[in-house]
């Protein structure tokens, strides 16, 4: 088969979006028939469902027993904002950013909270800041996995056990696909619609005992909206972390999350989830190695994501184009594959360099990832031929 021939095999599931991500294999709306729709989330059955979601999250991720887990509104964004607005300001802050979402947290801390004692350690897309330069006398805010850059933290070795400040970690795109060192993390957030393919709009906020202590001993100078308040009378509102959510959750979404958690549990838990994501990433890595027109955006294999895999186009004809034309070329590839029903929503993030972003998390079947690779070559050849003819 030549590069321009349309491949014969297609992925059975074309959902390679980096969020919301693919549903688990075998997912069906029928799995949600027992959802407590029309019931109060504060009823005994409703609260029981919420508690079950919290405890299954704890079990699968290996969250320590003395860490608090809460279901909060507004996805991962809501969970991060709750942490930033409630915890920061007690000491200096180190902000780590190497992609779009990390940059967003810098904006919130500097321009919205207007904190003065802030250091920003920034790296370009494809790289990670020098982690040896982090000052752990400060609070430290960072994304574990850069969803828009495909660059992740290599491990938790760079975080000292005797740190003075809190570590606040946005772990969306990492939770349920990467091993998080809980003893090194004081606040962890993520959303359901990433690694387990749950429905959107809800987030998870996890607090270490050190984070709880900060909440109970420090009061920010700024007013907190009701939706951010986690203490009352100087004490943690413990009910938030026992299924008594601040606002009304969708019980249909809760049922969907439980379905995903039950699936994760049935296949072997976190170890299997990580293995599935690694296997999908290995398929992409083998293709990149033998394909001259692409490379990983993440420069170092040690910091390369196994979920939101970002690739850049390195063909000289394309890199000679203007930045806008490179973006348009990559988008054309993504649009062609979307139209073919082969891969949906794999264009690079709007703020990232021109390229493609392929979700490789555990809900993707390795057979589908394998089937996708020839289609990428086909779409590139078609788009390049079209460019030459223009």
Residue range 24-39, pLDDT digits in tens: 999 999 999 999 999 9
pLDDT tens for 188-199 read 999 999 999 999
Q: Is residue 15 part of a domain?
A: no
pLDDT tens for 201-251 read 999 999 999 999 999 999 999 999 999 999 999 999 999 999 999 999 999
Q: What is the pLDDT of residue 2?
A: 47
Residue 43 has pLDDT above 50, yes or no: yes
Q: Is residue 204 part of a domain?
A: yes
191 shares its domain with 101: yes
Task: Note if the pTM is more than 0.85.
Answer: yes
Pairwise pLDDT comparison (389 vs 9), residue with the higher score = 9
Quote the CA–CA distance of 228 and 237 in Å, as a whole number.
Answer: 11
130 shares its domain with 167: yes
Average of per-residue pLDDT across 82-104:
97
Q: Is residue 129 part of a domain?
A: yes
Q: Is residue 12 part of a domain?
A: no
Burial of 322 per CB tally in 10 Å (0-12, 13-18, 19+): exposed
Q: Where do runs of H (alpha helix) occur along the chain? A: 44-61, 75-87, 100-107, 209-217, 251-266, 270-290, 316-319, 323-339, 366-389
Q: What is the pLDDT of residue 388?
A: 86
pLDDT band of residue 351 (cuts 50, 70, 90) is: confident
44 shares its domain with 100: yes
pLDDT tens for 277-311 read 999 999 999 999 999 999 999 999 999 999 999 99
pLDDT tens for 142-182 read 999 999 999 999 999 999 999 999 999 999 999 999 999 99
* Residue 126 near residue 299, CB atoms below 8 Å: yes
Residues spanned by the domain of 128: 31-266
Tokens in use for 220?
Answer: 């920010």
Report the b/e string of 212-248 with b at 16+ CB within 10 A. bebbeeeeeeeeeeeebbbbeeeebbeebbebbbbee
Task: Indicate which CATH number applies to the domain containing 51.
Answer: 3.40.640.10
145 shares its domain with 46: yes
């Amino acid at each position: 088969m030549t590069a321009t021939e349309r491949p014969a095999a297609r992925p059975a599931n074309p959902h390679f979006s980096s969020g919301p991500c693919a549903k688990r294999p075998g997912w069906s709306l029928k799995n949600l028939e027992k959802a407590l729709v029309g019931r109060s989330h504060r009823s005994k059955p409703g609260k029981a469902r919420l508690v079950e979601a919290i405890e299954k999250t704890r079990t699968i991720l290996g969250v320590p027993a003395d860490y608090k887990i809460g279901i909060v509104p507004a996805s991962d964004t809501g969970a991060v904002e709750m942490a930033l607005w409630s915890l920061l300001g007690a000491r200096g802050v180190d902000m780590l950013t190497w992609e779009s979402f990390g940059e967003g947290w810098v904006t919130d801390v500097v321009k919205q909270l207007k904190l003065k004692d802030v250091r920003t350690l920034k790296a370009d897309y494809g790289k990670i800041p020098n982690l040896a330069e982090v000052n752990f006398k400060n609070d430290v805010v960072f994304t574990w996995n850069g969803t828009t850059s495909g660059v992740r933290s290599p491990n938790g070795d760079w975080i000292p056990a005797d740190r003075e400040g809190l570590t606040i970690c946005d772990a969306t795109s990492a939770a349920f696909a990467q091993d998080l060192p809980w003893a090194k993390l004081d606040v962890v957030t993520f959303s359901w619609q990433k690694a387990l393919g749950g429905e959107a709009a809800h987030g998870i906020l996890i607090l270490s005992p050190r984070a709880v202590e900060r909440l109970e001993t420090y009061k920010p100078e700024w007013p907190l909206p009701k939706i951010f308040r986690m203490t009352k009378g100087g004490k943690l509102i413990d009910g938030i972390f026992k299924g008594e959510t601040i606002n009304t959750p969708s019980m249909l979404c809760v049922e969907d999350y439980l379905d995903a958690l039950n699936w994760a549990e049935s296949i072997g838990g976190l170890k299997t989830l990580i293995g599935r994501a690694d296997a999908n990433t290995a398929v992409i890595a083998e293709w990149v190695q033998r394909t001259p027109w692409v490379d990983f955006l993440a420069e170092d294999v040690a910091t390369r994501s196994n979920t939101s895999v970002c690739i850049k186009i390195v063909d000289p004809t394309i890199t000679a184009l203007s930045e806008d034309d490179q973006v348009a070329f990559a988008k054309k590839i993504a649009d062609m594959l979307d139209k073919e029903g082969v891969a949906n929503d794999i264009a690079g993030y709007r703020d990232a360099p021109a390229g493609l972003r392929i979700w490789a998390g555990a809900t993707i079947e390795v057979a589908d990832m394998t089937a996708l690779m020839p289609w990428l070559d086909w779409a590139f050849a078609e788009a390049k031929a079209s460019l030459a003819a223009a």
